[in-house]
Structure 1
Amino acid sequence: MEKNLAALSAQNDSLLDMPAPAASAASPLRSWLSVVSVAIGAFAFVTTEFLPVGLLPQIASDLGVSPGTAGLMVTTPGIIAAISAPGLMLGAGRIDRRFILLALSILLLTSNLVSAFAPSFGVMLLGRALLGAALGGFWTLALATAGRLVRQEHAAKATAMILSGVTFATVIGVPLGTFISGLYSWRASFIATGALAAAALAAQAFLLPALPSKAAIRFSDLRALLSRATARKSLLMVALVFGAHFSSYTYVTPFLAENNFSLSAITSVLLGFGFVGFVANLAISTAVTRHLQASLFAMVTILLAALATLPLVHASPAAVAVMVLAWGVAFGAIPLCLSIWLQLSSPDLPEAGSALFVSIVQVAIALGSFTGGVVVDAVGISATLWLGGLLALTSLAVIASFGMGNKKLAEILAK
């Protein structure tokens, strides 16, 4: 085990010691196309999950709720996904993972259609709950199977490609949803994401190979992983970082609107946020396994600086735009860093590790957006940026507690 972990730390692309039967049975091109199909699914899921961020004022006004209450559209799927991530994997047994991914894509499509035609906020939350039920299982499987779709030495690149769906969603998905809402209505935006979900379903049905499970995940696997002190501390770090981001990002559109940004300007800023995040994801993917801790520490530091500075420069549109772009750089790289960190924490239990990672991320999204909503309604939007900054500062302390500059981080994380 220690020998394998040392190799993981030394090689940029080798992440998981797991079989890749699908990759060996398919041509290299088809293997990479199967990764692309999952990346399209990631794009569809993330676009759907965070579409309300760009539409919050319109939906709140149309359905008769406050902006803070409207934030439940982000909180609800997060709570459900936190339960479904480990729950689905425990119940899936040894069912072919391809069939599960297809079923989850169908559920995503259903969620979008329910949301698009919701006559009330309660029905909207039902649609968002359906999203949460699919979301947890999708990310657990997407991250755990990335290395099975291609050759083992390309596992890191496959993971980065799938996670690029996150940044593509912020580059194109969320801003495009805001743009469509401006042209037509927020309902048209959900119809558009429904079409995107249908495209992801078709791509996966055609391109994904069979993904038989080698062993069913058991509750004892989750318990074994949580018994490791470094794994628990790693999950705490993940919760703090994602909580820092989503306690603030959920309300970035109202913040920009409050500071005299027009709808077109908000769309442009969100587009820039996603674009720089996409570039950051690509840039860091080549070095992240060699300099994982330093990369993560640097990105969270940038996140902290952006969140702490935004309330201070709110009177300057140019300064606000620059800080939001810096925020985009940080969060564009953070999911890949944290995903690989958790993979290194559980090389012997990849699906259990992915399930707990996704569950903690969704808890952080739910609690972050909910707490941010409470702060927004009680104090104001700027205050939730300070809250995010405090959580980011705390997460830096946890990252540093692993010992900065340690060249054998992989061995430490697997203890």
Structure 2
Amino acid sequence: MLTENNPPTGSYLPANDSVSSSLRQWLAVGAVTIGAFAFVTTEFLPVGLLPHVARELNVLPGTAGLMVTTPGVIAAISAPGLMLGAGRMDRRFVFLFLTALLLASNLLSAFAPNFTVMLMGRALLGAALGGFWTLATSAAARLVQPRDAAKAMAMILTGVTCATVIGVPLGTFIAGLASWRWSFLATGGLVGVALVAQLFLVPSLPSGVALRFSDLSSLVRRSHPRRSLLMVALVFGAHFSSYTYITPFLLHDANFDMSTITWLLLGFGIIGFVSNFVASATVVRNLRPSVAAMVSLLMFALVLMPVLRHSQFGVIAVVLAWGISFGALPLCFSVWIQRATPDQPEAGSALFVSIIQVAIAVGSSVGGAVVDHVGIRADFLLGSSLALLGLAALASIGTQAQSAARDALPCRATPE
């Protein structure tokens, strides 16, 4: 069996920054990246399929948004809950179990005879999702040498952007050719590839320290981690309260056809992919300015979407600017949380993933209520207001607290 030589979670040995990662280590990162691609494709597949699913299963578009809300709620619980239950279990086996759950989720969704069964399938996704992202964000530095930690995290997050570039638009394309059910079946095949890749490539990842509930509560009691998590929640809530309903907005308010929407979502993902890699080269040295710039760009994009709805060129430009922002934000926030919780990385990752899923669930749910009762344009104004509050939360985190957290322990996420 493959084994990895980096210290178990909870161990902090002096890093040897002169040692480069081996090919086998990068293949392990690649296997996790495939899993990330599969998870994100499954999670956000409904974004491009909302009109199709709502019509066939006879529900309103806002109600269909529960396909995004449900896994978010479950994942918010499973992120810390699964890690608490896993104890010192080898994280490799946890990876495999969660990916198998994802496969079951896709199959159940593909054959769902009604919306209730669809939500059951999405709940299975949520159970797997929270644990997977907690493991992925905390294990990235363990799969490679310390000097390559930021590159490994950026590579895993590439799975996120690639899913946006290829997965979601491809699902929309397949639904246009055949049926939304075939989109879920195709994603299930992708999950099967991810499962095989992890089985053969991910090494043993023993955990030296079991995560305890007291680890989570102690982080929440500290000002810097608490305010950082609030900032993350507001910004992710801003994004998903609006992005969940971008397809109905583009279709009905901006008068795009489905073919153009597919290509525009593809452009959103491509530019986000580029933004993620650019951020990986600069974020460690310029973390706070990077976060401020990307959140500001997100806020202005959400404000301008309804304003420019009658100009297709304007809408395209704003969607691409939105893609630049959200392509960089997950990596920025991941590094930020690592710096805010340097002494308890797995606990920090669990809370980070949990708060993101709460933001996705609450954001998409509240956004759905606004869409159904007020309108999609009002939903984008809600998103921009949440982004503004995210900027206020960032401003409330003093630079001295950020520097103290960074200096408490050398951050593993460094490209050097």
Kept in 2, the 8 Å contact 1:41–1:200? The answer is yes
- Report what 1:118 is aligned to: 112
Aligned to 2:255, what secondary structure does the other structure show?
coil
Structure 1: gaps spanning 5 or more residues:
1-15
Which of these residues, 270, 273, 287, is aligned with residue 275 of structure 1? 270
What letter corresponds to residue 195 of structure 1 in structure 2?
A: G
Task: Tell me how far apart the structure 2 counterparts of residues 236 and 407 of structure 1 sit (CA, whole Å).
Answer: 18
What is the CA-CA distance between 1:409 and the residue it aligns to? 2.7
Which of these residues, 321, 325, 334, is aligned with residue 329 of structure 2? 334
2:140 aligned with 1:146: yes
2:409 aligned with 1:409: no
Task: Tell me how far apart the structure 2 counterparts of residues 291 and 349 of structure 1 sit (CA, whole Å).
Answer: 23
Kept in 1, the 8 Å contact 2:21–2:144? The answer is no
Q: Percent identity?
A: 64
Kept in 2, the 8 Å contact 1:246–1:368? The answer is yes
Task: Tell me how far apart the structure 1 counterparts of residues 12 and 151 of structure 2 sit (CA, whole Å).
Answer: 16
Task: Tell me how far apart the structure 2 counterparts of residues 322 and 58 of structure 1 sit (CA, whole Å).
Answer: 26
Q: Deviations along 1:105-153, whole A, 9 cap, x unmatched?
A: 0000000000000000000000000000000000000000000000011
What letter corresponds to residue 78 of structure 1 in structure 2?
A: G
- Report what 2:84 is aligned to: 90
Kept in 1, the 8 Å contact 2:84–2:212? The answer is yes
Structure 2: gaps spanning 5 or more residues:
1-9, 409-416
- Report what 2:411 is aligned to: none
What letter corresponds to residue 25 of structure 2 in structure 1?
A: S
2:72 aligned with 1:78: yes
Quickly say closer, same or farther: Cα 1:95–1:17, change in 2 above 3 A: closer
Aligned to 2:285, what secondary structure does the other structure show?
coil
What is the CA-CA distance between 1:254 and the residue it aligns to? 0.3
Kept in 1, the 8 Å contact 2:338–2:348? The answer is yes
- Report what 1:257 is aligned to: 251
What is the CA-CA distance between 1:402 and the residue it aligns to? 2.2
What letter corresponds to residue 344 of structure 2 in structure 1?
A: L
Quickly say closer, same or farther: Cα 1:236–1:414, change in 2 above 3 A: farther
Aligned to 2:210, what secondary structure does the other structure show?
coil
Root-mean-square deviation (CA, aligned residues, Å) is: 2.0
Which stretch shows the higher mean deviation, 219-228 or 98-107?
Answer: 219-228
Kept in 2, the 8 Å contact 1:46–1:166? The answer is yes
What is the CA-CA distance between 1:412 and the residue it aligns to? 4.4
Which of these residues, 317, 320, 330, is aligned with residue 315 of structure 2? 320
What letter corresponds to residue 104 of structure 2 in structure 1?
A: T
What letter corresponds to residue 45 of structure 2 in structure 1?
A: L
- Report what 1:179 is aligned to: 173
Which stretch shows the higher mean deviation, 147-156 or 120-129?
Answer: 147-156
Kept in 2, the 8 Å contact 1:247–1:388? The answer is yes
What is the CA-CA distance between 1:278 and the residue it aligns to? 0.3
Kept in 2, the 8 Å contact 1:17–1:347? The answer is no
What letter corresponds to residue 287 of structure 2 in structure 1?
A: L
Task: Tell me how far apart the structure 1 counterparts of residues 243 and 404 of structure 2 sit (CA, whole Å).
Answer: 34
Kept in 2, the 8 Å contact 1:19–1:148? The answer is no
Task: Tell me how far apart the structure 2 counterparts of residues 189 and 370 of structure 1 sit (CA, whole Å).
Answer: 23
What is the CA-CA distance between 1:20 and the residue it aligns to? 11
Which of these residues, 245, 267, 288, is aligned with residue 283 of structure 2? 288
Task: Tell me how far apart the structure 2 counterparts of residues 293 and 347 of structure 1 sit (CA, whole Å).
Answer: 17
Kept in 2, the 8 Å contact 1:71–1:373? The answer is yes
Quickly say closer, same or farther: Cα 1:300–1:17, change in 2 above 3 A: farther
Kept in 1, the 8 Å contact 2:337–2:352? The answer is yes
- Report what 2:5 is aligned to: none
Aligned to 2:369, what secondary structure does the other structure show?
helix
2:386 aligned with 1:391: yes
- Report what 1:382 is aligned to: 377
- Report what 2:48 is aligned to: 54
Which of these residues, 193, 197, 206, is aligned with residue 203 of structure 1? 197
Q: Deviations along 1:347-368, whole A, 9 cap, x unmatched?
A: 1111100000000000000000
2:229 aligned with 1:239: no
Task: Tell me how far apart the structure 2 counterparts of residues 350 and 40 of structure 1 sit (CA, whole Å).
Answer: 23
What is the CA-CA distance between 1:68 and the residue it aligns to? 0.3
Which of these residues, 332, 338, 344, is aligned with residue 339 of structure 2? 344
What is the CA-CA distance between 1:164 and the residue it aligns to? 1.1
What letter corresponds to residue 277 of structure 1 in structure 2?
A: G
Aligned to 1:119, what secondary structure does the other structure show?
coil
Q: Deviations along 1:173-215, whole A, 9 cap, x unmatched?
A: 1000000100111000000100110010011001000000011
Number of equivalenced pairs:
397
2:362 aligned with 1:367: yes
Kept in 2, the 8 Å contact 1:18–1:148? The answer is no
- Report what 2:4 is aligned to: none
2:217 aligned with 1:223: yes
Aligned to 1:286, what secondary structure does the other structure show?
helix
Which of these residues, 293, 301, 325, is aligned with residue 298 of structure 1? 293
What letter corresponds to residue 153 of structure 1 in structure 2?
A: R
Q: Deviations along 1:357-386, whole A, 9 cap, x unmatched?
A: 000000000000000000000011111100
What is the CA-CA distance between 1:410 and the residue it aligns to? 3.8
What is the CA-CA distance between 1:411 and the residue it aligns to? 1.4
Which of these residues, 351, 358, 361, is aligned with residue 353 of structure 2? 358
Per the normalisation by structure 1, the TM-score is 0.93
Aligned to 2:209, what secondary structure does the other structure show?
coil
Which stretch shows the higher mean deviation, 123-132 or 151-160?
Answer: 151-160
| 1:3-22 correspondence runs (5 A) | 18=12
What letter corresponds to residue 34 of structure 1 in structure 2?
A: A
